Amino acid sequence: MSGQRIGYVARLGAAMAASNYPVTMVRQMIERCSSSYGLNASFIALPNHVQVVGPAAESGSVVKAAQIGRDLRFDQAFPLAGLVSDTLHGRVDPIAGEARLDRIEALPQPYPSRVTVLGYGVWSAGLALVLEPTPLNVLVAGVLGVMVGLFWVAGQRIPELAYLVPVISAFAVTAICIVGARYLEFDHVGLRALIPPLAMFLPGAAITLAVIELTSRDVISGSSRLIAGFVQIVQLAFGIVIAAQVFGLDESQLSPEAINKIGPWAPWLGVVVYALGVMLFLAPPRSFLPWLVSISAIAYAAQFLGDLLFGSYASGFCGGLALSVAALAMSRLRPAPPAITMILPGFWLLVPGSMGLIGVAEIFGADGDDALPATLISMISVALGLQAGLVLWRVIRRQPAR
């Protein structure tokens, strides 16, 4: 019986890691479950591997290791969060928990591939409204988003191709933008026009998890996530720079300036369009839409105000702080989804994540000496804001009621 419990705890921890839970939360789950099951277990928790060692028996220690070869989809995070909650509150036994895990891992994709591809086109158009709202940019972002969505679907079906999808997408998007700008006789290519179709590859979640784990002294997990996130941004920058070199684009013709030809209301409309794109691309439950719109609007508003009051780098911190506190507060409401499902989509709206891509691209240009520290600051500011929000929430919860 103890072996069955240990196996379930290890497998649940691996599923949490595959759903982008911080290793810190995985460890807390294992500790609490081991205590409730009466187990004196030791364990190792890493982003892609969980091992639980139970008490020694006549035949030796009971060792259970578990890992999931791929990340769980966003729609699978919702039933998984329910299972984690039920397990922590002692409402599920290992046999029933294993069965629920089997069903979660076997869940089919909610929508066909064509809906997923269309959803990413809508997602990209929404981000274009937020980052650089011009009619042409929104149209191009939607079309290129569909193209990148097709690349992503192909990568899901051909695992060997998945590792190249970020570079291929960045090269194709940049090449099309360069050719289109020359055809329309533009004197520059806006870097902000390149970002919306490539937004899914920005490692906001990885950088955030890395900061949380490093501040919690999970050095191995945090360092590996930080390096992986930075490498993914370099992949995007590599695709952009290679396309610029192939088509003979000078670095001075890549402009990071923001342009708004629609109106001051366009970014707020973009938040709603972005949320609709997330619903189609990531396929969460339909009841998630009002929560997603609310949390996205809060994150963008905090980032917008932070930029006005403190500047671009501090805006990321403000956005992350508001995002985490709002998600944790909203998750306390009875019909609300888990906080982690509300936090992850919010990061794709925060400008510093996009600034990170711009900064790395500029490393290969004339401003490289200043771009690298600017890139690191802009990425980590969001993660530090989230961490500060978590700390602030704990302080608020500990205050006695008056």
Tell me: do 138 and 284 sit in the same domain.
yes
pLDDT at 363: 47
Max mean pLDDT among 31-45, 184-198, 225-239 falls in 225-239
Q: 140 and 192 in contact (C-beta within 8 Å)?
A: no
Tell me: do 128 and 261 sit in the same domain.
yes
> In this predicted model, which residue has the larger pLDDT, 387 or 280?
280
Domain boundary among 74, 106, 138: 106
Tell me: do 195 and 312 sit in the same domain.
yes
Tell me: do 161 and 297 sit in the same domain.
yes
Q: 209 and 20 in contact (C-beta within 8 Å)?
A: yes
Residue 144 structural domain: 113-398
Tell me: do 118 and 85 sit in the same domain.
no
In the block, tokens 């979640």 appear at 205
Tell me: do 153 and 211 sit in the same domain.
yes
How large is the C-alpha radius of gyration of the chain? 22
Q: Report DSSP letters for 363-387, one per residue.
A: HTSTTHHHHHHHHHHHHHHHHHHHH
Tell me: do 155 and 176 sit in the same domain.
yes
| Domains of the chain: total | 2
- Answering whether pTM is above 0.75, one says yes
Tell me: do 132 and 67 sit in the same domain.
no
- Residue whose C-alpha is closest to residue 226's, from 356, 355, 338, 313: 356
Q: Is the pLDDT of residue 367 over 60?
A: no
**Residue 225, SS3?**
helix
Q: Report DSSP letters for 113-169, one per residue.
A: HHHHHHHHHHHHHHHHHHH---HHHHHHHHHHHHHHHHHHHHHHHSHHHHTTHHHHH
Tell me: do 87 and 210 sit in the same domain.
no
Quote the mean pLDDT of the chain: 82
Tell me: do 36 and 168 sit in the same domain.
no
Lowest mean pLDDT among 294-303, 369-378, 383-392: 369-378
Angle between helices 204-215 and 219-246 (to 10 degrees): 150
Tell me: do 47 and 155 sit in the same domain.
no
Domain boundary among 106, 128, 163: 106
Tell me: do 194 and 93 sit in the same domain.
no
Domain boundary among 38, 73, 106: 106
